Structure 1
Amino acid sequence: MLMVVCSNLRRPGHVGAASAARNINWLISGGYTPPIRALARQYVQAPEARPVPDERFPGSQQDRKDIATQTERCSQSKDLRPPSPPSPSQKLNSSTLPPPMSDRNADPPLDVATGVAMPYNIDWIFPRLRNPSKFWYVVSQFVVSAVGIFSKVVLMFLNKPRVYNKERLIQLISKRPQGVPLVTVSNHYSCFDDPGLWGCLPLGIVCNTYKIRWSMAAHDICFTNKLHSLFFMYGKCIPVVRGIGVYQNAINLCIEKAALGHWIHVFPEGKVNMEKEELRLKWGVGRIIYESPKIPIILPMWHEGMDELLPNVEPYVIQRHKKVTLNVGQPLDLNDFILDLKKRQVPEPTARKLITDKIQEAFRDLRAETEKLHRERN
């Protein structure tokens, strides 16, 4: 029976034999080759996707190149890490801050060796002065009122003051255009110059924390411990570190207060001038004026006799019945001068020096006038 079947399959016209022959020919001609190739491409990299051989690495060291590539990618991913969130002290209200002040607006850290002794860490003070809270204003009102009343009693009742052009000062403090800052500058003959001189002002100004000046005070004299720092901070005093230049927290904060239209008082001599010699004025005041978003009103003043009211020698006791003369000068009209400096893009160090020189010239004339007025008093 098997022999009969096989003999029938061998016959040329048999349908089964023809189908088997076609299948054999399809296998021989590579019928499964395309599907196998398609399946292999899922697991084997295509030729166009393979990296071009690097002649710097032989074929046996290709793994070294792959490791180097992975290392480079890891280092790049580290560089793309998201920035760390700002600290609370850096979260400032953008609506109250002035535009960038200069290319050197970064404050130098005070804990770095600068050649200046730091008896007490004052970094915590600046955020509180920059963004005062409601509690800060309440406490400041008590401190400012107490100091203002004390200054008025000492200056106006225990001594013999005479103020020339006082109404000019009062008008600029109370009725200057809204948003325009006021920068007053004066000589510095006694530690009691500020707040003593403000005793001549009305109580509505000298006892008002919203109207009284901002003033810079030496960090190594007024901010030596926690208690003193709190007192002067609530008295609207800004700690300045003498000897580290004009790019520091104190000057930056004064510029920010000027941008808000506040009153800022500056002693450009930079120290108590016990010898009463003509000192070169410090350029910090020039930077405050030049970098203020709104050009401030600049009011020079000169006084005589404060070093007799509170002598600069021990035991540092306030005296009575001393003559004190305060002369309020004319406001300096430097608007066109400052605008011209900015228009000509004068370098900031040069501009602040030129502005400070203008103040020094006004001081010379005002000093001669005030000394004469002081001598002529009975």
Structure 2
Amino acid sequence: MIMALLDYERREYLTNRGNNPFNGIKLISKHRSIVQLILSSAYSSNKRTMVYDITWIIPKLRQPPSRLWRFASTLTFFAVGIFSKIIIQWLNKTTVYNRHILANNLDTRPKNKPLITVSNHHSCFDDPGIWATLNMRHLFRKQKMRWSLAAHDICFTNKWHSYFFMFGKCIPIVRGNGVYQEAINFCIEKLGCGDWVHVFPEGKVNMYKDQIRLKWGIGRLIMESPITPIVIPIYHYGFDEVLPNFPPYYIRTGKKITLNYGEPIDFTDIIANLKKSNATEIEIRKTITDKIDDELQRLKTQTAALHEL
């Protein structure tokens, strides 16, 4: 319809005003908004076709790691860990509360007992910044470290970026593809092995720190984990000042960071009672997600007060 309108206008100009070469300029000026719409649509369409194919990544992560893979993964955790510790502990002012809660669970939980951590998401530096507060013995044992969901269109944009984040135990998730996508399936498999999975349940960087609805993927992870996981909430302030969400994008120093680990949440009885009452899967996922939201909001209030000290 747009092209038909422009063709009609072109013929009108040629019929009424002759073949003046400046008529094309007048035509574009008259329908500038339409031309901009066409160009924008063409650009968006071209951009969509350039999205990197990630279908090979999760099958690759499912394969038993080779010695070379283990070495590269260990090196990645070592390099990122050292860099993050320098930023967090040396170049900025960081206070951590209740670190022992996570540390004890990394050290003493049963081998087959899965662990999930959930936190707010204020900056692209949240991960690895949060884990830079761990002790060295945790940070450099990559087999003990977390798996983390990461946006496919930000972290997995080409082959080399993909390998870097894969070595860092990141899993590409496609935002908007729902709770039954392969990334969630893979996380459930890892929970079944007793691994640690970290989730930002807000589903995006919450730049304005609004209270937004949490994504139900976290509810499915906890509900379908073969063994009900330990769930530890985390809240933090200040990472968005170290790495702002607006240009210029570079690491700042001398900023105040506060990180607070909350008490573990036990969902064993909650899930058992919901199943006993014949609750639907949607109702179970929603109840779990709402419980996590309540705990994060409670922890937010507590952490905000600590950050002001």
**What TM-score do the two structures reach when normalised by structure 1?**
0.67
Aligned residue in 1 for 2:61: 129
What amino acid is aligned across from residue 283 of structure 1 in structure 2?
A: W
Alignment map for 1:1-378 (pairs within 5 Å): 119-134=51-66, 135-376=68-309
What amino acid is aligned across from residue 215 of structure 1 in structure 2?
A: S
- Cα-to-partner distance string for 1:68-111 (whole Å, 9 max, x where unaligned): xxxxxxxxxxxxxxxxxxxxxxxxxxxxxxxxxxxxxxxxxxxx
Check conservation: 1:309, 1:322, Cα contact below 8 A.
yes
| Bigger relative CO (Cα 8 Å, ≥ 6 apart) | 2
Q: Report the Cα offset of residue 307 of structure 1.
A: 0.5
Judge which range, 234-243 or 206-215, deviates more: 206-215
Q: 1:132 & 1:271 partners in 2: Cα distance?
A: 30
Cα 1:326/1:118, change in 2 over 3 Å: farther
Q: 1:343 & 1:205 partners in 2: Cα distance?
A: 39
Q: Report the Cα offset of residue 312 of structure 1.
A: 0.6
Report the structure, 1 or 2, having the larger helix content: 2
Q: 1:255 & 1:332 partners in 2: Cα distance?
A: 18
Cα 1:336/1:203, change in 2 over 3 Å: same
Q: 2:86 & 2:107 partners in 1: Cα distance?
A: 22
- Cα-to-partner distance string for 1:278-304 (whole Å, 9 max, x where unaligned): 000000000000000000001001000
Structure 1: runs of 5 or more not aligned: 1-115
Check conservation: 1:149, 1:207, Cα contact below 8 A.
no
Q: Report the Cα offset of residue 128 of structure 1.
A: 1.8
Check conservation: 1:298, 1:331, Cα contact below 8 A.
yes
Q: Report the Cα offset of residue 344 of structure 1.
A: 3.2
Q: Report the Cα offset of residue 369 of structure 1.
A: 0.5
Q: 2:261 & 2:201 partners in 1: Cα distance?
A: 16
Q: 1:329 & 1:155 partners in 2: Cα distance?
A: 20
Q: Report the Cα offset of residue 343 of structure 1.
A: 2.9
In the alignment of these two chains, the number of paired residues is 261
Structure 2: runs of 5 or more not aligned: 1-47
Aligned residue in 2 for 1:19: none
- Cα-to-partner distance string for 1:201-224 (whole Å, 9 max, x where unaligned): 111211221011000000000000
Q: 1:263 & 1:254 partners in 2: Cα distance?
A: 9
What amino acid is aligned across from residue 219 of structure 2 in structure 1?
A: G
Larger CA Rg, structure 1 vs 2:
1
Q: Report the Cα offset of residue 332 of structure 1.
A: 1.0
Cα 1:370/1:361, change in 2 over 3 Å: same
What amino acid is aligned across from residue 348 of structure 1 in structure 2?
A: E
Cα 1:118/1:182, change in 2 over 3 Å: farther
Cα 1:132/1:319, change in 2 over 3 Å: farther
**What TM-score do the two structures reach when normalised by structure 2?**
0.82
Q: 1:260 & 1:341 partners in 2: Cα distance?
A: 25
What amino acid is aligned across from residue 242 of structure 1 in structure 2?
A: R
Q: 2:277 & 2:112 partners in 1: Cα distance?
A: 26
What amino acid is aligned across from residue 218 of structure 1 in structure 2?
A: A
Check conservation: 1:118, 1:220, Cα contact below 8 A.
no
Q: Report the Cα offset of residue 348 of structure 1.
A: 1.2
Structural RMSD (CA):
1.2
The 3-state SS of whatever aligns with 1:321 is coil
Cα 1:117/1:294, change in 2 over 3 Å: farther
